[in-house]
Chain A
Amino acid sequence: MADYVVELKHVTKRFPGVIAMRDMHIQIKPGEIHGLIGENGAGKSTLIKVLTGVHVPEEGEIYVDGQKVSFANPVQAREAGIACVYQELNIVPMLPVVDNVFMGRKVTKPSGLLDYPRMHKEAHEALELLGHPEVDTHTECGKLGMGLQQMVEIAKAVSIKAKLLIMDEPTSSLGEQEVKQLMTTVRKLRDEGIAILFVSHKLEELFELCDRVTVMRDGEHILTEEMSTMTNDRLIQAMVGRSLENQFPKEFGTRGPCMLEVKHLKELGVLKDVSFKAYGGEILAFAGLVGAGRTETMRALFGADKIDGGEIYINGKLVSNKNPGQSIRNGIAFLTEDRKGQGLVLSESVKMNLILANMKRFKRALLLDHPKIEKNSQEMISTLRIKTPSSNEICAQLSGGNQQKVVIGKWINCDAQIYIFDEPTRGIDVGAKIEVYNVMNQLVKEGKCVIMVSSELPEVLGMSDRVIVMREGRVMAEIDRDSDHFDQESIMKAAWGGAIA
């Protein structure tokens, strides 16, 4: 048996005019969980695509079980035992679990027809191995939660007897509980002798789960080390190529008047009773598990969903935010967690997205004032440091961090007083994160009211002045930055339903 289940040597992948991966090498041992980390654009996706046969590298060698191989297409990589669970799941929600597990593969009877009894049995065995024997293979996949849908995807890999399972940002859309389940499953697979390449942005997960870690930067291999000898700071330093003094550049504003007050907000089956106050000049964070009702609270007060009761006061005045348009006129901006689905029109230009929420401001008589729009977008591009070739660039072409800045610019153009940031740094790299934090700092200093929904506790603790913890549609706790309970432990306790002394 070879030392490494998969090994890359001196692999280089070029695209017209750009080298996406340069002289890359990586060795993955059987039965290890190997972390892979790097900023956006560091070449992680290229590495994954080379391993799965999507890209064919120009130079270098790939070894599987010590045998030199070359993949001309994804099918060959799959046959060699390399499987990948992508961030966006390849699940057909209308089809039952069994068909999803056997997608692109079949088990037939001698007659040539599909052998469903055997397929069900095999699918069930695969799920059992993953620790989920409770999943009925007849269920439509769309009816399962995200976590279980992912298990179906992993079952797909297991059922082809994969030697190496690549997981690309597998926890990004999972709740806390589901992440725990996933980790248990991943460890189980490791114990079965399957190697896992675990790609993640979340350092805590890597520390908790991985045996070794590889860092990439600018398409190159930076280091591979045992996780046990690694530190947080060294990992970040390797990733960004410079040491980050502070991941959370918190600056303090002065707390102003109460700008937003929510009283007894209710939404059937989602929000039971939510009341809170938010002040100008402070960052109010909402913590809690996924599904605790944080995003739902924000959507309800923004008028994106109908409410079944409750009152909203802005600057002491009762308002009715029946739809997003009304809320925007009342001074609320809402950066949604789903940037591509709800924040941007990807097919439109940077310019047009920047004025999307307030076209009125850019009108002269009946027509749009194009010179004014251009001037505004130039200002936004320079103040928010949006990296784009021009204001006419289509938003789909920008990186995640720059897309997020465009959304922020859109709301700044609305002259909003209350800014709701829902998971503002999800899926963007470390450098861009800091720039987003700086925007929040700037808003707070201008006396604006900032509300931040975040599932990242370090971010909550690093940036907020006050934390509200939610659980099952209710406010469980409110913790001030000065309080003794302003720590990870207390927040988690409240999120899980415990009382804070």
Chain B
Amino acid sequence: MNNTKKKSSVGDLLMKLGPLLVLALLFIIFTIALPGRFLKVANLMNVLKQTSVNCLIASGMLLALITAGIDLSVGYNAILATCTIGVMMQNGITNPFILILCAILVSTLCGFINGTLYTRLDLPHPYVSTLGMKFVIWGVALLITHSQTIGFSNKGIDAVLWIGKATIFSFGFPVCFILVIIFYILFHIFLNHTALGRQIYCVGGNPEAARMSGIRSKDVLTIVYTISGFMCGIAGVVLAGRLNTANTASAATFDTDAIAACIIGGASFRGGKGTIWGTLLGALLIATIRNGLNLFSAGNDIQYIVIGLVIIVAVTIDVFRGKFEANARKMAAASK
């Protein structure tokens, strides 16, 4: 009994580290194939910088996925936050605190609307409410910016841009990734050590059982989408510094990148599972692939193909992991 348990947990661990192993493998391949170019501190810091926005958006997306939902509005919600900063700046407001606060508030409000529409109108799936809101937010962003790109350089809001741009330490560690680390630790604590966090998993696993146990499933879901909106706001602030502009066209792949990070990291469309560290690995994996292929001077075409295949492979591994675990359980039960 003990023996099998040990064996299965080793196998289990190996499988859980799947994305990590893939990441390590990629590192080795890129290091060998791109001598002196990939494995450089400056380049690695670049990867972290490039992945920050996706990490922040994916954390909120993860919550939605755990509840068996999805948030399709994330990309334009983040852009709306950036545009809010831009428009307020054009109107003469340069106080960084007010700008950041307003950007985050606008996105959080959008998230709250997402959740409210879904839960109070009894829409069949958040796909509907967030898809609708995606277009509404997109339109609003175009409306307030008059469909113009807003440049941030030398406009007196460098303090806001600092978050997305600045690096610290002698080796240039990006500030925005420190933000990611802080939020991911908070998410880890939230999801595993608070009642609300566990309730999110329970509502995702079985909303009716959660309701019959006295959990206000609708409120929990509304909070989930509000948090997703909040994280888009943070991502929008980082985006301002990263892009130096507010441009509605830059949201193109934000939503799919975030979903990909979560799915590669072990979340499931069926809900009830997924971890924040898995999501981090997923996001890093995507960023590493992009970075490596960029250094090979491969274009977007190749990058999309590779990332698409990685998603399929990652989920396939996950399916096999499930079967493997079920088998290990049967063995354990048999040897009892």
User: What residues of chain A have their CB less than 8 Å away from a CB belonging to chain B?
Assistant: 15-18, 302, 304, 323-325, 327-329, 334, 336, 341-348, 352, 356-360, 362-363, 366-368, 370, 389, 397, 410
- B265-276: contact bitstring with A at CB < 8 Å (1 yes, 0 no)? 000000111000
A346: chain B residues within 8 A (beta carbon): 205-206
Q: How far is the CB of B217 from chain A (nearest CB, A)?
A: 10
The segment out of B93-101, B173-181, B326-334 that lies at the interface is B326-334
Is B209 a contact of A18 with CB atoms below 8 Å? Answer: no
Is B205 a contact of A347 with CB atoms below 8 Å? Answer: yes
CA distance A363 to B194 in the complex (A): 8
**Residue B323 at the chain A interface, CB threshold 8 Å:** no
Is B330 a contact of A356 with CB atoms below 8 Å? Answer: no
Q: How far is the CB of A342 from chain B (nearest CB, A)?
A: 5
Is A367 a contact of B193 with CB atoms below 8 Å? Answer: yes
A329: chain B residues within 8 A (beta carbon): 214
CA distance A360 to B195 in the complex (A): 7
Are A344 and B198 also in contact (CB < 8 A) when A325-B216, A328-B214 are? no
Q: Can you list the 8 inter-chain pairs with the closest CB atoms, starting with the nearest?
A: A17-B334, A18-B334, A347-B272, A359-B195, A325-B214, A345-B205, A357-B213, A347-B205
A324: chain B residues within 8 A (beta carbon): 211-214
Most chain A beta carbons < 10 A, residue from B199, B209, B271 = B209
Q: How far is the CB of B220 from chain A (nearest CB, A)?
A: 12
Is A348 a contact of B202 with CB atoms below 8 Å? Answer: yes
Q: How many residues of B contact A (CB 8 A)?
A: 32
Additional A-B contacts beyond A343-B209, A356-B202 (8; CB < 8 A): A16-B327, A323-B214, A327-B214, A328-B213, A329-B214, A342-B212, A347-B205, A352-B201
Q: How far is the CB of A13 from chain B (nearest CB, A)?
A: 13
Is B195 a contact of A348 with CB atoms below 8 Å? Answer: no
Is A325 a contact of B215 with CB atoms below 8 Å? Answer: yes
CA distance A336 to B202 in the complex (A): 17
CA distance A325 to B210 in the complex (A): 10
CA distance A370 to B198 in the complex (A): 12
Is A17 a contact of B330 with CB atoms below 8 Å? Answer: yes
Is B212 a contact of A344 with CB atoms below 8 Å? Answer: no
CA distance A352 to B271 in the complex (A): 16
- B284-328: contact bitstring with A at CB < 8 Å (1 yes, 0 no)? 000000000000000000000000000000000000000000010
* Chain B interface SS verdict (over half): helix
**Residue B21 at the chain A interface, CB threshold 8 Å:** no
CA distance A166 to B329 in the complex (A): 29
B194: chain A residues within 8 A (beta carbon): 366-368
Are A344 and B206 also in contact (CB < 8 A) when A17-B335, A359-B195 are? yes
Is A345 a contact of B189 with CB atoms below 8 Å? Answer: no
Is A356 a contact of B334 with CB atoms below 8 Å? Answer: no
Is B272 a contact of A345 with CB atoms below 8 Å? Answer: yes
Is B334 a contact of A342 with CB atoms below 8 Å? Answer: no
Are A356 and B193 also in contact (CB < 8 A) when A17-B330, A18-B333 are? no
A368: chain B residues within 8 A (beta carbon): 193-195, 198
CA distance A15 to B272 in the complex (A): 29
Is A344 a contact of B209 with CB atoms below 8 Å? Answer: yes
Q: How far is the CB of A99 from chain B (nearest CB, A)?
A: 23
Are A356 and B195 also in contact (CB < 8 A) when A16-B327, A348-B205 are? no
A345: chain B residues within 8 A (beta carbon): 201-202, 205-206, 209-210, 272
Q: What would be 20 A-B contacts, judged by CB atoms less than 8 Å apart?
A: A16-B327, A17-B334, A18-B334, A304-B212, A323-B216, A325-B214, A325-B216, A334-B212, A336-B212, A343-B209, A343-B212, A345-B202, A346-B205, A347-B201, A347-B205, A347-B271, A352-B198, A356-B215, A359-B195, A363-B195
A363: chain B residues within 8 A (beta carbon): 195
Are A356 and B331 also in contact (CB < 8 A) when A325-B214, A370-B193 are? no
Are A15 and B198 also in contact (CB < 8 A) when A334-B212, A336-B212 are? no
Are A341 and B205 also in contact (CB < 8 A) when A15-B330, A367-B189 are? no
B271: chain A residues within 8 A (beta carbon): 347
B205: chain A residues within 8 A (beta carbon): 345-348
CA distance A368 to B198 in the complex (A): 9
